A and B are shown apart, each in its own frame.
Chain A
Amino acid sequence: MFRPFADWLATTQLSQLFQNQLWVVPTSQSIHIICVCLVFSSAIMINLRLLGVGVKGRSISQLSSSLVPWMWGGLCVLLLTGAVQTIAEPVRQFVTPAFWAKMGMIIVVVSMTAVFARKVRANAARWDAAGSRPASARAFAIGSSILWILIIVCGRFIGYTWAFYA
């Protein structure tokens, strides 16, 4: 279903421009990886703190307010560089289930993170004390960590699987 769209997108002027400038895709991917580092490390630090492993020096609300803005900034750049890579090589992206799995998981984890950050902002005291933290905090920490790891795995596997489906 997406194949005709991908084939059309590959013929557009913008896609042709990106394809002909050989530095565009590697540069975009490098920036993409750097932002993955920022977003993933921030998420893992917050999640470990929620689970009570390490990062004891700062409270949940402190970590959330200092790291979540970096995560949103990083995600914006990820979206931008991801779009460049998709426009440059649409077929490579759209044919493999790894791409769609990645997109689905991103929607889930970003929604989860937005809800989490909102709740922490609304009631910092409740989240900062281990005793009064909602039971769902642990589930969020474990669930979102697994999702971020799988997102990175799927992202890397787009490059290794697309040729089988093209």
Chain B
Amino acid sequence: MSLDSLLMWIQDLPLAAAVRGETAGSEWLFPIIETLHVLTLTVVFGSIVMVDLRLVGLTSRGSSISRLTDETLPWTWTSWVLSAITGTLLFMSKAVTYYGNFQFRMKFVFMALAAVNMLIFHFGAYRKVAQWDTAVPPTSARVAGALSIAFWVAVIFFGRWIGFTT
């Protein structure tokens, strides 16, 4: 099965038609799912940026970073999963259009960059967090925090732009 026919197949699923509002009673499904997507992504971004700002040194200086991540990570992951589910439903409704959309692709490029950045931080500077937990983080950690903010801001910009270009 080629990619094109796979995307067509996804788009032709009854669920995808319902998200498009084509079945009786589903007229408001797309707006509702999109609103849930916005609500959950606000918590994803907000909780990530709280940690990033602390890493960069703009907020909560002197407070424990590992405690902050312990407090925020469950919220980040839970809301990320909900964002991914609602995002998948939105994607299904117009799979061919979204796949071919430049802004949509860029959104995923920047999410991938954010993920790589997070992994490098997690297996790099963060392994020795005990040494700088309440102090000024090492340069690599501060760079990771700044890059994370930049990448996620790009994700939101491109995400919002999808709605204006599809």
Contact = CB atoms under 8 A, between A and B. Distances in A.
Is chain B found bound to chain A in the same assembly? yes
B38 A33 contact: yes
A26 B75 CA distance: 28
Contact of B38 (A25, A45, A156): A156
Given A37-B49, A66-B59, A57 B64 contact: yes
Contacts of B99: none
Given A26-B160, A152-B35, A37 B71 contact: no
A103 interface: no
Contact of A40 (B35, B43, B74, B164): B43
Interface in B22-63: 28, 31, 34-35, 38-39, 41-43, 45-47, 49-50, 59-60, 63
Contacts of B46: 37-38, 40-42, 44
Nearest to A33: B156
Contacts, number: 73
A34 B156 contact: yes
Contacts of A58: 63
B102 interface: no
A29 B31 contact: no
B127 interface: no
Given A30-B160, A58-B63, A70-B59, A152 B71 contact: no
A33 B71 contact: no
Contact of A37 (B41, B64, B161): B41
Interface of chain B, main secondary structure: helix
Contacts of B59: 66, 70
A54 B164 contact: no
Nearest to B74: A54
A87 B115 CA distance: 38
A115 interface: no
Interface in A54-83: 54-58, 62, 66, 70
17 contacts: A25-B164, A26-B161, A27-B157, A30-B157, A30-B160, A36-B38, A38-B46, A40-B46, A41-B47, A44-B43, A54-B75, A55-B71, A57-B64, A57-B70, A152-B35, A153-B39, A156-B38
Given A152-B42, A153-B39, 7 more contacts: A30-B156, A33-B156, A34-B153, A36-B42, A41-B43, A66-B59, A160-B31
Interface of A: 25-27, 29-30, 33-34, 36-38, 40-42, 44-45, 54-58, 62, 66, 70, 149, 152-153, 156-157, 160
